Amino acid sequence: MPDRPLFISFEGGEGAGKTTQIKLLTSFIEECGYTVCLTREPGGTLEAEKIRNLLVQRDGGDWTAEAEVMLLYAARHMHVEKLIKPHLEKGDIVITDRFADSTRAYQSYGHGLPLEFVNDIHARVLGDFEPDITFLLDIPVNEGLARSLSHLSQSSGDEKSEDRFEKLDTSFHQKLRQGFLELANAHPNRFVVIDATQDIETIQSTLQEKVHEALNG
């Protein structure tokens, strides 16, 4: 058993394959005898899911970058206090599809908001609370967007309308990718960067190896 429960986040641009890899990794960890809390951002609690609809739906609103950050941290505060921390306190392993690094990448690198603005709000709302491991699935922009749009075309309901970011121009997504890579470079002890163009099995093998090391290191 680890000395303390693990908090794992997955990050990456559109179409990086996070959903598939998270499901496989969750099964692997559960087979190892651990309880996993699987969640996502924005979302995770009733309150945060309501805010999610404002941020990712195509008709959710025309928010400024500053307003988006404040909405995201309102949702994140509820997520951490009502879901993530209680599960960690029980000894569960928490895996989230996106966390604070997405806000840094999308709102700062993508939309041009000063990174200090995001980090200051993070410190005020969550202190130094960060994931133990952040897996960044890195993929070239054009390939990732093609994957994401193909997935959305086969979706239905609310998921089909969650295409607000896919509709942004390619230059935004290039800045987003660069932002994630710069964040990973700035926090090498937390980030694990993985080439998301590899086959599913190869990526999963790397993820399992890193988690095994963290659980037994």
Q: What is the pLDDT of residue 200?
A: 97
CA atoms of 56 and 67, how far apart (whole Å): 14
Tens digit of each residue's pLDDT (9 = 90 or more) over 174-197: 999 999 999 999 999 999 999 999
Are 135 and 204 a contacting pair, CB within 8 Å?
A: no
Report the pLDDT averaged over residues 55-75. Answer: 85
Residue 102 has pLDDT above 70, yes or no: yes
Q: Which CATH superfamily is domain 7-216 in?
A: P-loop containing nucleotide triphosphate hydrolases (3.40.50.300)
Residue 154 pLDDT class (50, 70, 90 cuts): low
Instruction: Spell out the residues 6+ positions from residue 57 whose beta carbon is closer than 8 angstroms to its own.
Output: 158, 161, 162, 164
Residue with tokens 């604070």: 100
Task: Return the domain boundaries, the chain.
Answer: 7-216
Classify 133 as helix, strand or coil: strand
What pTM, to 2 d.p., does this model score? Answer: 0.89
